[in-house]
Amino acid sequence: MERLQKVIANLGYTSRRKAEELILEGKVKVNGETVTELGTKVKISDTIEVENTILDNNKNYEYYLLYKPREVISSVSDEVGRKTVTDLITTSERIYPVGRLDYDTTGLILLTNDGVLTNKLTHPSSNIEKTYIAKVEGIVSGYAIKKLRSGVLIDGKMTSKAKVKLKSIDKKNNKSLVELTIHEGRNHQVRKMFECIGYEVLKLKREKYANLDLRGLKPGEYRKLTNKEIAVLYSMVK
């Protein structure tokens, strides 16, 4: 048996935190009875109803890789009407992003209705590598590269060691292009790491996530993951 909020999240209806809110608000039923206790455990055979929608325990999972453009929200909805990543994918399933990219950050983001894989990939212990290309103001020094590699202090906590490569410099326009690979997922982490060493990020793109990259895609385009790619992701978080 599993906790009710975890089952709701795993079935792809919403996040675990939101599921807890819905339970407390009396919007969840198990076998026809309203449940408001967060500690409630359920069986796979139980009928779970959320906001008058019966969840399907036998649903088909879908997995998408999206090249997120700028000015798109990494969410399923936005209270001020901005475009979201789910607006860009045509499917009848309720999918949601795995983690997030900032509004002005472009690049690779996964979307799925597989709550189990989402939870595993986004858990701090997953150590999934994410590679970014950052265009920054100024010529990045060798000393700054070493600091990024060894970890910097942001929000009162040191970042883990990172892989860093200076891709190119533009002395005429005083710009640098830096490749940064991290396995953490803290809020605005990449931008804050560069800010810590004295450089402003002008553009940021996530090029790789685990075993996946953006080859063949343009901003706004997406594709389904192959069975092999899904299997590799699961193997990484066992």
Where does 41-188 have alpha helices with state H?
A: 115-122, 142-150
The token duo for 189 is: 């982490």
SS3 for 94?
coil
Q: What ranges make up the beta strands (E) of 2-71?
A: 2-3, 28-30, 33-34, 41-42, 48-50, 53-54, 63-68
Can 170 be counted among the known catalytic residues? no
What's the rounded Cα separation, in Å, for the pair 135 and 201? 6
Catalytic, out of 46, 78, 102, 104: 102
Q: Kind and range of the H or E element at 132? A: strand 130-137
SS3 for 200?
coil
Active-site residue set: 102
